[in-house]
Amino acid sequence: MEFGTRTIHAGQPSEPNTGAVVAPIFQTTTYQQIAPGEHHGFDYTRTSNPTRKRLETVLADLEGGRHCAVFGSGLAAENAILQAYLKPGDVIVVPVDVYGGTFRLLHKVFEPLGAVVRRVDFSDLSALEQAVAERPKLVWLESPTNPRLLVYDIEAVTRVAHAAGAIVVVDNTFATPYFQQPLALGADLVVQSVTKYLAGHLDVIQGAVIANDRAVFEPVGFLQNALGGVPSPFDCWLTLRGVKTLELRMERHAQNAAAIADALQRHPKVKRVYYPGLPSHPGHAVAKRQMTGFGGMVSFELDGTPEEASQFVSSLTYFALGESLGGVRSLVCLPCKMTHAAIPAETRAELGLSDTLIRLSPGIEHPRDLVGDLEASLDRVGARG
């Protein structure tokens, strides 16, 4: 079955009692038992729920895995992995530019509990080899990264990590399973902020963990119930609805991102464009090999002042100024004042996060409108400058 067919059919037969082609939302906390301890497979919704189970089946299928647990947010999913695998004294290796929420969770919650966090440049495999000499429990990466869209070689990182006995976790939020299959590239666990492209409509906060190997998955599956960070049946149903159009949406997001990257590259008010589809992008060759498309995100540096960057992001018509990404409506963000404001200015500078770096999450509007909107606002910046 092809990907676009699986988004609609995997784990989603018509409802057996009525034939409804869309299964109802099982908005229930509990289930009537036949006799004490004898039931139809469900006893309490924190533990399991038919709507959530449908979603877990389809998300596992799309990532090419056998097991999935969904959570009330991407960070709740990350927390379950870290609680399952990171004990006091254990080492976790992450890229220098790991997503800020992951870094905060590690730094503020798991380091005080005794975990040891090592930040490494994952584009330098010899640095990674040195880091894994410490025998880390987990090696954790994203690709492409947020917001500079750096691309790391998942297969190569996995090889180095596995040789040292580490479990490899890939945050596949930016690429989605449509463009990238980390489990097939050797990763052990995939984590998703379902909030983004999978749900896709800017109306659900949710996360997921997917694995192939039951033994690797089991501790995380246990914590889904034990920690209790589960999403509501209604939110699971919204994601089931959203994910049906994942292929169509990702194609349009990617088409829009490519058109925007091309236009930005030619604009005199743009200093640099970050988009893995550009041959000039340092990770282009790896992206071409490990992804089936370049994703839907574009970042760029404005050739102007920080004030002009602020004015630019506030003056767009179709791009709403807001956090998050991956929705049908276009979003724009100024990381230094928004998503990455908590990072000290010197660290931001080290990571190449300048005060004029702008992150775009093109939606699925028509590319001409989006490019036109960006060009018109850039021209206004030029006129003021």
Ligand X SMILES: Cc1ncc(COP(=O)(O)O)c(C=O)c1O
Instruction: Give the shortest CB-300-to-ligand X separation in angstroms.
Output: 18
Count helices and strands (H / E) in the chain. 14, 12
Identify any residues that bridge with 333 across adjacent strands, giving them in sequence order: 359
Is residue 195 a contact point for ligand X (CB under 6 A)?
Answer: yes
Tell me which stretch binds ligand X (CB under 6 A): 28-36, 73-81, 232-240, 375-383.
Answer: 73-81
Instruction: Give the shortest CB-3-to-ligand X separation in angstroms.
Output: 21
Neighbours of 265 (CB within 10 A): 14
**Quick check: is 269 catalytic?**
no
| Contact mark string toward ligand X, 94..113, x via CB under 6 A | -----x-x------------
Is residue 231 a contact point for ligand X (CB under 6 A)?
Answer: no
Nearer CB in complex with ligand X: 293/367: 293
Residue 329 sits at the vertex; the CA angle it makes with 260 and 268, to the nearest 5 degrees, is: 25
Task: For residue 147, say if its preceding peptide bond is cis, omega within 30 degrees of 0.
Answer: yes
Decide if 346 contacts 240 (C-beta within 8 A): no
Tell me which stretch binds ligand X (CB under 6 A): 24-32, 71-79, 230-238, 285-293.
Answer: 71-79
Phi, psi of 61 (to 5 degrees): -60, -45
* Of the candidates 221, 174, 200, the residue with the CA atom closest to the CA atom of residue 60: 221
Nearer CB in complex with ligand X: 92/270: 92
**Quick check: is 288 catalytic?**
no
Amino acid at 160: V
Decide if 52 contacts 233 (C-beta within 8 A): yes
Identify any residues that bridge with 331 across adjacent strands, giving them in sequence order: 320, 361
Is residue 147 a contact point for ligand X (CB under 6 A)?
Answer: no
Pairwise CA distance, residues 187 & 367, whole Å: 34
**Quick check: is 135 catalytic?**
no
Q: What is the gyration radius of the CA atoms in the chain, in angstroms?
A: 21
Is residue 143 a contact point for ligand X (CB under 6 A)?
Answer: no
* Of the candidates 183, 182, 180, 210, the residue with the CA atom closest to the CA atom of residue 194: 210
Is residue 296 a contact point for ligand X (CB under 6 A)?
Answer: no
Please tell me which residue in 97, 153, 171, 355 is annotated as part of the active site: 171
Spacing of C-alpha 288 from chain mean position:
19
**Quick check: is 99 catalytic?**
yes
Is residue 73 a contact point for ligand X (CB under 6 A)?
Answer: yes
Is residue 193 a contact point for ligand X (CB under 6 A)?
Answer: yes
Nearer CB in complex with ligand X: 337/384: 337
Pairwise CA distance, residues 291 & 328, whole Å: 22
Instruction: Give the shortest CB-99-to-ligand X separation in angstroms.
Output: 4
Tell me which stretch binds ligand X (CB under 6 A): 6-14, 72-80, 177-185, 369-377.
Answer: 72-80
Is residue 146 a contact point for ligand X (CB under 6 A)?
Answer: yes
Tell me which stretch binds ligand X (CB under 6 A): 38-46, 69-77, 235-243, 264-272.
Answer: 69-77
Please tell me which residue in 6, 97, 99, 235 is annotated as part of the active site: 99
Identify any residues that bridge with 69 across adjacent strands, giving them in sequence order: 209
Instruction: Give the shortest CB-174-to-ligand X separation in angstroms.
Output: 6
Please tell me which residue in 31, 43, 46, 66 is annotated as part of the active site: 46
Is residue 79 a contact point for ligand X (CB under 6 A)?
Answer: no
Decide if 175 contacts 198 (C-beta within 8 A): no
Chain residue at closest Cβ approach to ligand X = 74
Pairwise CA distance, residues 103 & 110, whole Å: 10
Pairwise CA distance, residues 32 & 294, whole Å: 48
* Of the candidates 339, 361, 290, the residue with the CA atom closest to the CA atom of residue 97: 339
Nearer CB in complex with ligand X: 176/256: 176
Tell me which stretch binds ligand X (CB under 6 A): 1-9, 67-75, 155-163, 232-240.
Answer: 67-75
- Catalytically active residues are 46, 99, 171, 196
Binding site for ligand X (CB under 6 A): 73-75, 99, 101, 142, 146, 171, 173, 193, 195, 205, 207
